[in-house]
Homo-oligomer: A and B are copies of this chain.
Amino acid sequence: MAEKFVSERNLKFLLYEVFDVEGLTRYSYYQDHGREIFDMILDTALRMGKDLLHGTFQEMDRNPPQYVEGRVKVHPLVRTLMRECGEGGWIGANAPYELGGQQLPIMISAASRFIFFAANYSASVYPLLTSGAAHLIESFGTEEMKALYIPKMFSGQWQGTMALTEPQAGSSLSDITTKAVPTQEGYYKIRGQKIFISAGDHDGADNIIHLMLAKIEGAPHGVKGISLFVVPRLRPEPDGTLVPNDVQVAGIYHKLGYRGAPITQLSLGENDDCRGYLVGEPHKGLSYMFQMMNEARIDVGMGAAAIASAAYYAALEYARERPQGRRLRSKDPSLPQVPIIEHPDVKRMLLFQRAVVDGSLALLLQCAKYADLEKVQEGEEKERHGLLLDLLTPVAKTYPSEMGLLSVSQGLQCLGGYGYCDEFPLEQHYRDARIHPIHEGTTGIQGLDLLGRKVVIKGGKAFKLYLEEVRGAVARAEATRGLDAGAGLLEGALQRLEEVTAHLLELAPGDPELFLADATLYLELFGVVTVAWQWLLQALRASEALEADPSGGDRDFYEGKLRTYQYFFSYELPKIEGLCRRLLQSDGLTVNLEDRHFTD
């Protein structure tokens, strides 16, 4: 199997050179950190990725979780990993010191997650979910809850989950029916079914803590009646003992990929003894849960980019080693064959993959930077970065997920028939990656979120701020030798995006369905423009670095960045034209289409 799954050089380029993570240490929350600590953390993540996670990548796929007598058995690595992630401080990395956290910048933990995901996506999900669930308790739970759950979760002893989906309520969360009945004792009795719950049960942790949506008896219809509960598998009694909490595991799913993690069906309160503990106020559960969902959406994007990264390096390694054919300039069959990386079409496939991987990662770290700034800033700056993060979350979830599929597929293609065989890791990456456009809100849902919610919030303020951000890069590029053409192309793309946005917004008051009919295409358009911006940022830094006449590997690296930037602007960015033409039509084709038209 390919050794390399991420580029340390590229991670450091993005963190230090493009996004200046060190600049965060000027804020008091991050003041104890610095480059040395960041480097140490990244080195540790790389070592864990290599030594602990990557070696079991295939093994966990081939030995998926087993459902045995109402419990789920997982690979022994899970317990080891949870413990190591607990002991190493990874689970509570971003939390404040007083809760046992490390106050680490989100950018650094995001980079670490990228490493873990690329090494072994399924395995990395366990600590990640625990982190998100603990963060939800941290933000909205009572002091008692924090004391009871957070230390055990940060230490990796207890698994956290997010339990939203039900048989009749997937994309439509307003339709959940899991019921919470208040009791005199303060807790609620929970009754219902949850499906597709990742890590919803397993023997790699001592307890499972579900952050669960349910409706308090008599609550209003729809999303306004949803509350958030902590529902442990084993509930901690006052004396410290753990008592079964009537959470039954009804089964697990057999999946295309992502097989190392169990996706479970849960049945709650079959014996009328499932207790849930209300988090925050009643009926505000969905807004709380959105904190975890938004973080999870960024993580899905990260997982997608990471799998594409591992697939890219496997394809690159193969392309450098596999001799096949000759260059078209010298087709003499008596000459030796050349490595396929010498063929322009293979170089194009590799550039595509790199463009997607590095472009996606840049966008995700950009989002992490906004999250860091929102966290530590105040007033207008805080709002600015919060709005930018909100706007870009569906983009950062979807571009890597959708393009990551194509990227992995191109990686597989580089190997020809071998890509289709399980001797090489590409076929697994291809299977694993397919979950990302689905979980944490499908691509269709993300499109509705972007156009129907994010673009219009606060009178379009987030969108205006976005245009400012991108135009900042355009202005710098205009003044940079070699990048003025790219600046012009991106400015042109922004104008098209503004034109399309204005056109669609005009439709909104009259017909919300027509307005949002092509929201998925709008999201695709937004994604290409946004990643073009991220490539321009990288090109700006690479150009600057090349001014200093670096040597050897550094020169190759920066020149490679510029070539990939060129690739993006000449192969990928032009694709927006086809999208814009459709988006400007709004002829209602799909709105007016009827079921009977599918008769054949």
Measuring CB to CB, which residues of chain A are less than 8 angstroms from any residue of chain B? 7, 9-10, 165, 168, 170-172, 174-175, 195-196, 221-223, 253-258, 263, 316, 320, 323-329, 333-334, 337, 339, 341-351, 354, 405, 409, 412-413, 416-417, 419-423, 427, 430-431, 434-435, 437-439, 442-444, 447-448, 511-513, 516-521, 553, 556-557, 559-560, 563, 566-567, 570-571, 574-579, 581-582, 585, 587, 589-591, 593, 595-600
Known: A172-B326, A255-B420. 14 other contacts (CB 8 A): A165-B417, A253-B421, A329-B512, A344-B513, A344-B590, A345-B448, A345-B520, A351-B593, A413-B438, A416-B438, A416-B442, A559-B597, A560-B597, A575-B578
Is the CB–CB distance between A438 and B409 below 8 Å? no
Is the CB–CB distance between B172 and A563 below 8 Å? no
| A577 interface neighbour in B517, B521, B577, Cβ under 8 Å | B577
A336 to B578, CA, bound (A): 37
Closest A-B pairs by Cβ, 10 of them: A222-B333, A560-B597, A575-B578, A574-B578, A256-B427, A344-B590, A556-B599, A172-B325, A344-B517, A7-B600
In the complex, which residues of chain B have a beta carbon less than 8 angstroms from the beta carbon of A512? 328-329
A170 to B168, CA, bound (A): 49
Is the CB–CB distance between A421 and B593 below 8 Å? no
A559 to B516, CA, bound (A): 24
A421 to B196, CA, bound (A): 10
5 residue pairs bridging A and B, Cβ less than 8 Å apart: A175-B324, A350-B598, A351-B593, A521-B571, A557-B600
| A348 interface neighbour in B257, B427, B437, B518, Cβ under 8 Å | B518
A575 to B409, CA, bound (A): 20
In the complex, which residues of chain B have a beta carbon less than 8 angstroms from the beta carbon of A413? 437-438, 442-444
Is the CB–CB distance between B438 and A560 below 8 Å? no
A140 to B188, CA, bound (A): 81
A513 to B354, CA, bound (A): 22
Is the CB–CB distance between A171 and B347 below 8 Å? no
Is the CB–CB distance between B435 and A420 below 8 Å? yes
Is the CB–CB distance between B574 and A581 below 8 Å? yes
Is the CB–CB distance between B589 and A567 below 8 Å? yes
| A417 interface neighbour in B168, B170, B427, B557, Cβ under 8 Å | B170
A69 vs chain B, min Cβ distance (A): 22
| A560 interface neighbour in B412, B417, B600, Cβ under 8 Å | B600
In the complex, which residues of chain B have a beta carbon less than 8 angstroms from the beta carbon of A435? 420
In the complex, which residues of chain B have a beta carbon less than 8 angstroms from the beta carbon of A420? 253, 255-258, 434-435, 438
A515 vs chain B, min Cβ distance (A): 8
A419 to B556, CA, bound (A): 43
In the complex, which residues of chain B have a beta carbon less than 8 angstroms from the beta carbon of A556? 596-597, 599
A581 vs chain B, min Cβ distance (A): 4
Closest Cβ neighbor of A13 among chain B residues: B600
Closest Cβ neighbor of A4 among chain B residues: B600
Is the CB–CB distance between B10 and A600 below 8 Å? yes
In the complex, which residues of chain B have a beta carbon less than 8 angstroms from the beta carbon of A521? 571
Closest Cβ neighbor of A325 among chain B residues: B172
A322 vs chain B, min Cβ distance (A): 9
A593 to B566, CA, bound (A): 11
In the complex, which residues of chain B have a beta carbon less than 8 angstroms from the beta carbon of A327? 513
A118 to B124, CA, bound (A): 38
A598 to B587, CA, bound (A): 45
A320 vs chain B, min Cβ distance (A): 7
In the complex, which residues of chain B have a beta carbon less than 8 angstroms from the beta carbon of A170? 324, 416-417
Closest Cβ neighbor of A172 among chain B residues: B325
A542 vs chain B, min Cβ distance (A): 12
Given A165-B417, A320-B595, A421-B253, decide whether A517 and B345 contact each other with a Cβ distance below 8 A. yes
Closest Cβ neighbor of A320 among chain B residues: B595
Is the CB–CB distance between B563 and A351 below 8 Å? no
| A578 interface neighbour in B326, B349, B444, B577, Cβ under 8 Å | B577
Is the CB–CB distance between A577 and B570 below 8 Å? no
| A329 interface neighbour in B325, B354, B513, Cβ under 8 Å | B513
In the complex, which residues of chain B have a beta carbon less than 8 angstroms from the beta carbon of A519? 345
A220 vs chain B, min Cβ distance (A): 9
A359 vs chain B, min Cβ distance (A): 14
Is the CB–CB distance between A590 and B518 below 8 Å? no
Is the CB–CB distance between B345 and A444 below 8 Å? yes
In the complex, which residues of chain B have a beta carbon less than 8 angstroms from the beta carbon of A434? 409, 412, 420, 430
| A587 interface neighbour in B258, B326, B570, Cβ under 8 Å | B570
